[in-house]
Structure 1
């Protein structure tokens, strides 16, 4: 197996196990990543195999996973004025853009801040490196941003998460022991 096949297989695995993508999304990803010398048939066939492995693993997962605890925590924060987004873009700048777009769809003043994690954060979480959250205040400066992060920290701790945050705006909030188990809504083919 060559390096491009290994790279694409890893991307397939991450995307399947993230729980955000369906079969067609991942086939599109393969199309985007294909290069000369790649074993297209093997790569496309691996999608079914990976979904079947994930589905089998899901049968042994606890009824409530860390992701299942995070989702209502995000909802609570959103109800309290902090817009929370799952899988917002692929990078930090994408996440901030997605948050700006989402905020523009709500009444002015409904949210005073926001929180998100992006695709690279998901990739790290899937391989067991915890989940890191970004945050910002909509119009405030450092003290307001710290208030946003403190509110997020309190809700996460109340939900039972262990986290790292140094109390400054230079660091994001990291859920250190976050066990990424996000069930797919994909029907097996």
Structure 2
């Protein structure tokens, strides 16, 4: 009897489902996914070794699936759009921080002296996209000192327009009402993100 089978069927099922979700996201290495499982399920008796045994076959299964993917996926298009935005002075970040609040608080640390704005999506956004619900993008302009709020809002709208244009230029569908207070939705989006090598 292996240690893995000593876990309850419910814990095993939960661990496998969570591992599949994180593998679908495509940003973490197998050991990081195992660590995430342990963090969530350590009170259920899941060890790092057991988590690694759960992740390994699911990782191999996803690698096999990738062989049948199109040469260029929607995620590749997203990367292309983000690269173009970087060249325009917009800081981009994927799977950045755990939530929107942390993302907005920390994105300034990624900026260079020529950066005028930013766009990012956080880990919960990644999980939503991987589950087929489209991808929400958070964006904004970097505020210069004590400038009036309306100037900052205009810059945020400029960044939003640049993000939409970059996404549309690579063939992604975008929903945005033009408001600086509304996130940009990329949908429909087939989330096929190749696993880290």
Bin of the TM-score, shorter chain as denominator length: 0.7 to 0.9
Q: Post-superposition shift, 1:18?
A: 1.3
d(CA) in 2 for partners of 1:14, 1:98 = 25
Q: What TM-score comes out, normalization by structure 1 length? A: 0.88
Is the counterpart of residue 122 in structure 1 residue 138 in structure 2? Answer: no
Deviates more, 1:117-126 or 1:136-145: 136-145
Equivalent pairs counted in the alignment come to: 181
Find the counterpart in structure 2 of residue 142 from structure 1.
153
Deviations 1:41-92 (A, max 9, x none): 7644220121011111101100000111111211111110111111111100
Is the counterpart of residue 56 in structure 1 residue 64 in structure 2? Answer: yes
Equivalent residues of 1:88, 1:116 under 8 A apart: yes
Find the counterpart in structure 1 of residue 6 from structure 2.
none
Equivalent residues of 2:30, 2:52 under 8 A apart: no
Is the counterpart of residue 27 in structure 1 residue 34 in structure 2? Answer: yes
Is the counterpart of residue 8 in structure 1 residue 8 in structure 2? Answer: no
d(CA) in 2 for partners of 1:100, 1:125 = 24
Is the counterpart of residue 92 in structure 1 residue 95 in structure 2? Answer: no
User: Gaps (5+ residues) in structure 2?
Assistant: 1-8, 144-150
Return the index of the structure with the highest Cα Rg: 2
Find the counterpart in structure 1 of residue 137 from structure 2.
133
Equivalent residues of 1:142, 1:169 under 8 A apart: yes
d(CA) in 2 for partners of 1:8, 1:111 = 41
User: Gaps (5+ residues) in structure 1?
Assistant: none
Q: What TM-score comes out, normalization by structure 2 length? A: 0.84
Q: How large is the Cα RMSD of the aligned pairs?
A: 1.8
Find the counterpart in structure 2 of residue 45 from structure 1.
53
